[in-house]
């Protein structure tokens, strides 16, 4: 079965990678789908292409042969239809994640091929990690090495050299 794990992944952190690894054990094929949203371009640190490359590197390091990375824009349900997948995988850290993800799951079922959403609870050790926190720590020179895969740590190092 082919599933899609959508998100912004700006940047990919170990919580995301944990969900990817667990989904890869459960399903035959996993597409990590990076959201391309031109209206938010200034809010993201990494371009969609950079995020895909970070994911591909992390997946290769983790030896996950059944995982691919891609980008999409527009409605997730339409992307799901094009990819021929009927299952969305989402990671949850806390009740606040559940509330917003539940709304999206119900909305996605109204469109396209009526995809189902499966939730994977974040491993306890990653339940506090968010891309926002990773960027905040990195911006102030903190060590994010324990929070992100090596590909993300390297990309952050390079990005911080060019950020104002």
| Annotated binding-site residue? 9 | yes
| Annotated binding-site residue? 90 | yes
| Annotated binding-site residue? 91 | yes
Please, is 157 exposed, middle or buried when counting C-beta atoms within 10 Å of its C-beta (0-12, 13-18, 19+)? exposed
| Annotated binding-site residue? 132 | yes
What's the rounded Cα separation, in Å, for the pair 153 and 113?
37
Burial string for 109-142 (b: 16+ CB within 10 Å, else e) reads eeebbebebebbebbeebbebbbeebbebbeeee
What's the rounded Cα separation, in Å, for the pair 138 and 21?
25
Give the catalytic positions in this structure. Answer: 16, 40, 93, 131
Q: Report the length, in residues, of the chain.
A: 164
| Annotated binding-site residue? 78 | no
| Annotated binding-site residue? 100 | no
| Annotated binding-site residue? 156 | no
| Annotated binding-site residue? 128 | yes
| Annotated binding-site residue? 136 | no
Residues belonging to the binding site for ATP are 8-9, 16, 91-93, 101, 126-132
> Which segments are annotated as binding site for substrate?
8, 40, 76, 90
Residues annotated in a binding site: 8-9, 16, 40, 76, 90-93, 101, 126-132
């Amino acid at each position: 079965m082919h599933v899609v794990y959508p998100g912004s992944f700006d940047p990919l952190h170990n919580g995301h990678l944990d969900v990817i690894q667990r989904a890869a054990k459960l399903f035959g094929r996993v597409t990590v789908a990076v959201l391309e949203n031109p209206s938010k371009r200034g809010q993201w640190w990494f371009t969609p292409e950079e995020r895909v490359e970070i994911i591909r590197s992390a997946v290769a390091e983790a030896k996950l042969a059944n995982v691919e990375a891609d980008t999409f824009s527009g409605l997730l349900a339409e992307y799901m239809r094009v990819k021929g997948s009927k299952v969305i995988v989402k990671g949850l850290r806390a009740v606040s994640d559940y509330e917003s993800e539940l709304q999206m799951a119900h909305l996605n079922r109204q469109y396209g091929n009526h995809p189902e959403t499966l939730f994977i609870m974040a491993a306890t050790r990653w339940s506090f990690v968010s891309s926002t926190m990773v960027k905040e720590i990195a911006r102030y020179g903190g060590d994010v090495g324990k929070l992100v895969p090596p590909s993300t740590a390297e990309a952050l190092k390079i990005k911080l050299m060019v950020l104002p």
